[in-house]
Chains A and B, each alone.
Chain A
Amino acid sequence: MNIPILIVVVLLYLGIMTALMVLGYRRTKTDADFMVAGRSMHPWIMALSYGAAFISTSAIIGFGGAAGLFGFSLLWLTVLTIVVGIFIAFAFFGPRIRRMSYNLGSDTFSSLLGNRFQSKALATYSGLLIFLLMPAYTSAILIGGARFLQDALGMPYTTSLLLLGIVIGLYVMSGGLRGVMYTDAFFAVVMLIGMASLLFGTYRAVGGVIAGHSGLSALTSLVPEGLVAQGHRGWTSMPALGSKLWWTVVSTVILGVGIGVLAQPQLTMRFMTVKQPRSIYQAILVGGIFIFFMTGTAFIVGPLSNLYFYQTQGQISIQVAQGNIDRIVPIFVSSIMPNWFLYFFMLTLLSAAISTLSSLLHVQGTAFARDLVGTLGIGKLIPGASTTVWAKLGIIIALAASIALAYILPANIIARATAFWFGICAAAFLPTLVAALYWPSATKTGALASTVAGSLASGLGYLLLHEQEAVAIGLASRLLGRATLLPFPWTHIDPLIYSLPVATVTLVAVSLLTRKPAVQHIENTFRKVA
């Protein structure tokens, strides 16, 4: 490692980050600045911030490594993240969320749902879900970031964890959403350069697109027997239809994350930060390219690493990584890219971790201030304290919970916690959010029942049915004497697949049976929305 170059690069990086934090701090004067960046953010900053908040280190390292094991089939998640996570989210959800939040004076995801359905219970329940469950996802990202600092800089794990947490906490509290989005945009540019360079470097290392794909197709006989038994049919083929691997790849990875992205509170918040709907349409241009180079690169580089390692070392990636899929991408990058790039790639991964963490902490802080303190009347405990003060307190609590969880949670929790959070969000929030934006006749009872039913169905699915979590938690074995409530394929079907329909049917059925919202409220809510 060239220490002088590393020091210069890191100092330059920290200098730019600090300058942007100070800029965010200076421009944050009101509650609206802190909560929704004054609703005046530039479209490209919004798009880059959305992308950087979405893509964490685990998405690059964890999912890239998973693609090294499972193959190119994971590219369907890239298609979904672009089509659903960018196009549908920005073109169909974004403009309506922006306008409706303005009409209703909402500045958090939960307060948007609560005000839209005139339901304090819905705002409080949604805020509670975010504030209580999101620390698990936050701590997973924190663990990934701290482990990365530990490996890259040789720092002790505890020091890495505390340093990362405290630095991010301080700048989120000082600059609010403005500071978060300015730094996110910088991180996104670093990530874009790093991942685009890696994609081109990988195809060059394996002899080009067709040669690389064909060479990898020829290695099918090298797939480990255990994976073949689960349905693996080669790195350039989909798993066998209906096999264990097919259900995991399709229901958990592709659909779970690809649909779950639509209902992520920290991402939907971004639409409230721009002044005009055309800013959101303009942002699609940047968002699509960014997500392609993030997830697309991870899912192309992972599988092709098998070909490169076989040609150079006579082994496939999982053998080179000694069974740890999280090591596939780092080992591959250090094998094919020049030394100077390794420093840049280190900053790429650090940027991915910090940008996601800062967004998660901000959304937890604002959920605490607006949706819990505001709706439950706790604000009276500190007379005169503004929403921003309560949000900062919420950020401190969320950060402390996340750091504590990072010590308690097991080592292999990162991917599981991510899938768990995305699954819960989709089941609890997506039908209600769609109804809020597109179905004026949906009722508050229907929305509340759907959010509760979706979160319960999803939670019970993880506790009792989905093998990966149910076995780790152990509730089914204590209650029923067996690992899961039902046999395969339920053990491998992601809870999203059944909890989302449960929430949708509940929403429609209860809305049809309960009292419609007042006409005046609907007219005000949907003013200039369509």
Chain B
Amino acid sequence: MGMQDIWVSAAWVLSIGSAVGCVVYGALHWNYAEDEE
């Protein structure tokens, strides 16, 4: 990644990865069961 430190490279990758993870999680739960009231 061009960084000096593996921890900083990890933060860069994880920040993008976690945002992508949120997109996937949201999409997978798109039709989550309604809470009947």
Enumerate chain A interface residues (CB-CB to B < 8 A). Answer: 71-73, 75-76, 78-79, 82-83, 86-87, 91, 99, 102, 209-217, 220, 233-234, 236-238, 276-278, 281-289, 291-292, 296, 299-300, 528
Contact = CB atoms under 8 A, between A and B. Distances in A.
Given A79-B18, A220-B4, A277-B32, 5 more contacts: A87-B25, A213-B1, A217-B4, A282-B30, A289-B22
A234 B18 CA distance: 25
B18 A82 contact: yes
10 contacts: A72-B3, A76-B11, A78-B11, A237-B5, A281-B30, A284-B25, A289-B22, A289-B23, A292-B19, A528-B35
Contacts of B2: 209-217, 236
A292 B15 contact: yes
B21 A288 contact: yes
Contact of A237 (B3, B27, B29, B32): B3
A214 B8 CA distance: 13
B15 A82 contact: yes
B interface SS class: helix
Nearest to A293: B19
Contacts of B37: 102
Contacts of A276: 34-35
B25 A281 contact: yes
A83 B18 contact: yes
Contacts of B8: 71-73, 75, 236-238
A288 B27 CA distance: 12
In order of increasing CB-CB distance, the 3 nearest A-B pairs are A288-B22, A285-B26, A213-B2
Contacts of A278: 29-34
B15 A288 contact: no
A281 B5 contact: no
**Which among A91, A220, A292 has the highest number of chain B CB atoms within 10 Å?**
A292
Contacts of A299: 15
B16 A292 contact: yes
Contacts of A285: 22-23, 25-27
Contacts of B29: 278, 281-282, 284
